[in-house]
Structure 1
Amino acid sequence: MRAVILAGGHSERFGSPKAFAKINGETFYQRLIQTLKETECFDDILISTNTQLARAFEAEQVVTDLDTHKDKGPLAGIYTAFQYGSQPDALFVVSVDTPMVTVEAVQHLREVFEQRVKNEGTDIVGYQDDKYAIPTLAFYHSSVQPQLQEVLESDDFSMKHLYRQVSTSWIDVGEIPQPSYWYWNINYQQDLEQLREALD
């Protein structure tokens, strides 16, 4: 099983690449790598980014989108991560701007994912808050690849376009009894300040 950290966005709202923002002295991407290693769930961990940022990461495995799908958003990063090297049976997807994800949250989601794949044939299992599914905090079975490729070859690269074609299941973030900031998405500088205040 493989994990991929999506870090290819242009971070226009944040003002600088979010992957290199820091919380408690650690960059977002380094913190996520450490968390994913501690789960002991993954054979390898990739960083998916754009060509402008690729050399700035201090990590073993950094990939950029396949040429045929460059600049097609997070689904391109997910598809590329499936195609890289020895193709995995499943992929855990996390966005670099969700830096406080915990070991417990990942391990719990993996257990649910494996159960629902086995019992229900589910393709994607992820978290949701009280309003929305969180597609960049989810496990994707390799069975989604044909539909993923089809979406990337269309004019609509949205997550919803993929979800309409596969079986999905979402579990509430409240199942993880920890401070809510573990799944916070940091889009703006004020989001980072709010996180720092919550951690004090």
Structure 2
Amino acid sequence: MSVRKQLVSGVLLAGGESRRFGSPKAFHLFNEKPFYSYSYDALTPICHEIIIISHPAHQGLYEQNEFTVLVDDEKFRGKGPLAGIFTAMTHGSGDWFVVAPCDTPFITTDIYLSLLDVIDDANEYDVYIPDVVGKRQPLTAIYHKRCLPFIQKQLEKGVYKVGALFDNVNVKYITIRQSEAFRNMNTLEDIRKTTE
């Protein structure tokens, strides 16, 4: 890991509505563990803090644990994952923000290490994004805090698509071949397919 742990904050995105899933997805048990805990466990070895961005209705469900749980900044609440990244950056103390969705139970620390290891002292890139079999994964990526003013400007303009940010910052795409690690669970049918 080329970046010191003290400079790395984790962002666990769990603020969605879970409409397709039918219940709060972050808390669905998968092999006897809630979904969010897989991402949390992947982030823990590399981050000095982890911020969970929660849906307001689900925030209290984390209270029995010692987590930093926030809801999106009120100005941008309900505006998608970019709002969650913005909120984490305005509260987190790191220089780098490692982002993880709450519905990828096969994600591992090694995936994030492979991104962190590419960062060098020249620090010329603002975002490191996995490219997995030609599919880019901006919600399992690493963002530098200097992206914050660009994210804020974009949100204020009402542009909520994460990909639109990449026109304004320097992005490096990292080829990763472990596609299973990025498999996300949008529906109960997705879970059923993993057990077949």
Structure 2 Cα separation of the partners of residues 130 and 3 of structure 1? 25
Match of 2:168?
165
Q: What SS class does the counterpart of residue 71 from structure 1 fall into?
A: coil
Structure 2 Cα separation of the partners of residues 194 and 109 of structure 1? 29
Match of 1:97?
103
Name the aligned partner's letter for residue 99 of structure 2: V
Match of 1:7?
14
1:111 equivalent to 2:111? Answer: no
Name the aligned partner's letter for residue 56 of structure 1: L
Q: Please say if residues 7 and 96 of structure 1, whose CA atoms lie closer than 8 Å, have aligned partners that are also in contact.
A: yes
Name the aligned partner's letter for residue 72 of structure 1: K
Structure 2 Cα separation of the partners of residues 18 and 172 of structure 1? 28
Structure 2 Cα separation of the partners of residues 167 and 193 of structure 1? 39
Structure 2 Cα separation of the partners of residues 55 and 120 of structure 1? 38
- For residues 32-181 of structure 1, the aligned pairs below 5 Å read 32-37=39-44, 40-57=45-62, 58-59=64-65, 60-85=67-92, 87-112=93-118, 114-115=119-120, 118-119=121-122, 121-174=124-177, 176=178, 180-181=179-180
TM-score (norm 1): 0.88
TM-fit CA distance, 1:6: 0.1
Structure 1 Cα separation of the partners of residues 71 and 175 of structure 2? 31
Q: Please say if residues 26 and 103 of structure 2, whose CA atoms lie closer than 8 Å, have aligned partners that are also in contact.
A: yes
Q: How big is each residue's C-alpha offset from its partner over 1:62-116, in whole Å with a ceiling of 9 and x where there is no partner?
A: 011111211111011001101115x32010001001121112112111112x22x
Sequence identity (%): 30
Q: What SS class does the counterpart of residue 166 from structure 1 fall into?
A: coil
Considering only aligned residues, what root-mean-square deviation do their CA atoms show, in Å? Answer: 1.5
Name the aligned partner's letter for residue 188 of structure 1: T
For structure 1, the residue ranges without an aligned partner over 5 or more in a row are: none
For structure 2, the residue ranges without an aligned partner over 5 or more in a row are: 1-7
Structure 2 Cα separation of the partners of residues 187 and 170 of structure 1? 25
Q: How big is each residue's C-alpha offset from its partner over 1:122-158, in whole Å with a ceiling of 9 and x where there is no partner?
A: 1100212224211110000011011000011012110
Q: Please say if residues 181 and 195 of structure 1, whose CA atoms lie closer than 8 Å, have aligned partners that are also in contact.
A: no
| Cα distance change of structure 1 residues 191 and 17 upon mapping to structure 2, 3 Å threshold | same
TM-fit CA distance, 1:185: 1.4
TM-fit CA distance, 1:24: 1.1
TM-fit CA distance, 1:14: 1.3
How many aligned positions are there?
187
Q: Please say if residues 48 and 65 of structure 1, whose CA atoms lie closer than 8 Å, have aligned partners that are also in contact.
A: yes
Q: What SS class does the counterpart of residue 121 from structure 1 fall into?
A: coil
TM-fit CA distance, 1:195: 2.2
